[in-house]
Homo-oligomer: A and B are copies of this chain.
Amino acid sequence: MTRDEALFEFALRMGDTALILGHRISEWCGHAPVIEEDIALANIALDLIGQTQMWLGLAGEVEGRGRSADDLAYLRDAWDFRNLLIAERPNRDFGHTYMRQFLHDAYAVEMLGELTGSAEERVAAIAAKALKEAQYHLEKSSEIVIGLGDGTEESHARMQDALERLWPYTGEMFADDAVDETLAAESIAPKPSSLRPAWDARVNAVLGEATLTRPESGFAHLGGKTGRHTEHLGHLLAEMQWLQRAYPGATW
């Protein structure tokens, strides 16, 4: 695998994860439990769509076949998406949505933090911008996880359930493969496995404050990073890509 092949894959992984997670969050629009949360969720979605534009823009540039960020977002089928599976999991309830966000944010902060020192300038520049957003997201999602975990009996039970349901999708964030090896060798990106200790520490601290019990299972669903998704992604894309597919060639 060449450096550029690996970089293309990596940029897709980052961009697709932001895109799909952002899409999920945007599904909340107008349906949150309080207005402040309508605003906060829209804000997170907005940041993630912005990150998508940067990462997929980079992917298109690296690929060099003239595909724009929009082409990549709207004209690939599910198997060419490289997002982490956790991003495509359905929203279910508000607590589940924020638990997913928290588990992701704790990873994103570590990943982006490392990427700010990337030997590839374009990566470092994107990371620097995205890191600030991710830190804010993490602060926010930690707060909600703690508030609901250490809230009422019902909110606690719902958060524990969300945690258990999402836990098997966290391992994928730290699974290294050839793409990661190539980029690590070039000092472009860290090995995902190297981020785990910091993530563990953060997650343990927040779950502790939230009075939630960390699941013991180490089982991890894999596949998102290589294009083997859950059944949920196809439905999401059918909706997301509708206009571009129905009216090919139009500009909007």
**Size of interface on A: residues with Cβ below 8 Å to B:** 10
Do B246 and A77 touch across chains, with their CB atoms under 8 A apart?
Answer: yes
Number of chain copies forming the complex: 2
Q: Is A92 an interface residue (CB 8 A)?
A: no
Chain A 74-130 residues near chain B, CB threshold 8 A: 77
Do A241 and B235 touch across chains, with their CB atoms under 8 A apart?
Answer: no
Chain B residues, Cβ within 8 Å of A235: 239
Least CB distance from A107 to B in Å reads 31
Chain A 171-207 residues near chain B, CB threshold 8 A: none
Least CB distance from A95 to B in Å reads 24
Chain A 220-246 residues near chain B, CB threshold 8 A: 234-235, 238-239, 241-242, 245-246
Chain B residues, Cβ within 8 Å of A242: 234, 238, 245
Helix, strand, loop or mixed for chain A's interface?
Answer: helix
Chain B residues, Cβ within 8 Å of A245: 242, 245-246
Cα–Cα, bound, A72→B28 (Å): 33
Chain B residues, Cβ within 8 Å of A234: 242
Least CB distance from A65 to B in Å reads 19
Chain A 41-91 residues near chain B, CB threshold 8 A: 77
Cα–Cα, bound, A153→B188 (Å): 65
Cα–Cα, bound, A58→B61 (Å): 50
Q: Across the two chains, which residue of chain B brings its CB closest to A241?
A: B246
Q: Across the two chains, which residue of chain B brings its CB closest to A244?
A: B245
Cα–Cα, bound, A245→B245 (Å): 6
**3 closest A-B pairs (Cβ-Cβ)?**
A245-B245, A238-B242, A238-B239
5 CB < 8 A contacts A-B: A234-B242, A235-B239, A241-B246, A242-B245, A245-B245
Known: A235-B239, A238-B238, A245-B245. 9 other contacts (CB 8 A): A77-B246, A234-B242, A238-B239, A238-B242, A239-B239, A241-B246, A242-B245, A245-B246, A248-B248
